[in-house]
């Protein structure tokens, strides 16, 4: 079935409790557990909610980019087997470089080359 990511509530389920999982900056509802109404509702096909624990499981979550040091002054950000992805390098809040792909199941990389040792923060 592929990989999954499970997020735990860390709270004790009460007999008339409500657990709601949100996602994104727009606070879109992913799932609701209403103990009093004895119901579980999910709003995406890749999400499931455990009635007993309130834990949220996401099937095939987004891959996490890997950052590798190539040399003293070069880093490489890469992600494997993805579709519709954008990789970006930032110096503080300033965008330095970016690359995107919309093909299915490709490997995408974005290097960051520094001219000298800097004390800047890159992400």
Query: Which whole number is the average pLDDT over 42-48?
Result: 87
Please report, for residues 29, 61, 117, the alpha-carbon distance to residue 26 in angstroms, rounded to integers and kept in the order given: 9, 19, 39
Query: Which whole number is the average pLDDT over 1-20?
Result: 80
Domains of the chain listed by start with CATH number: 4-61+71-113 (2.60.40)
Query: Which whole number is the average pLDDT over 9-34?
Result: 84
CA distance 123 to 108: 17
Query: Which whole number is the average pLDDT over 34-40?
Result: 88
Query: Could you read off the pLDDT of 48-100 as tens digits, one per residue?
Result: 999 888 898 988 777 778 888 888 888 888 888 777 788 889 888 889 999 88
Torsion of CA 7, 55, 63, 26, to 10 degrees: -80
Write down the mean pLDDT value for the chain: 83
State the pLDDT at residue 1: 43
């Amino acid at each position: 079935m592929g990989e999954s990511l499970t997020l735990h509530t860390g709270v004790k389920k009460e007999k008339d409790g409500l657990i709601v999982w949100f996602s994104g900056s727009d606070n879109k509802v992913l799932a609701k557990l209403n103990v009093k109404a004895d119901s579980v509702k999910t709003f995406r096909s890749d999400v499931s909610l455990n009635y007993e624990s309130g834990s949220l499981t996401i099937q095939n979550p987004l891959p996490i980019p890997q950052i590798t040091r190539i040399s003293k002054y070069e880093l490489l950000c890469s992600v494997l087997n993805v579709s519709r992805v954008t990789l970006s390098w930032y110096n503080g809040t300033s965008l330095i470089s970016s690359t995107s792909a919309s093909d299915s199941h490709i490997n995408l990389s974005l290097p960051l080359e520094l001219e000298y040792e800097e004390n800047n923060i890159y992400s």
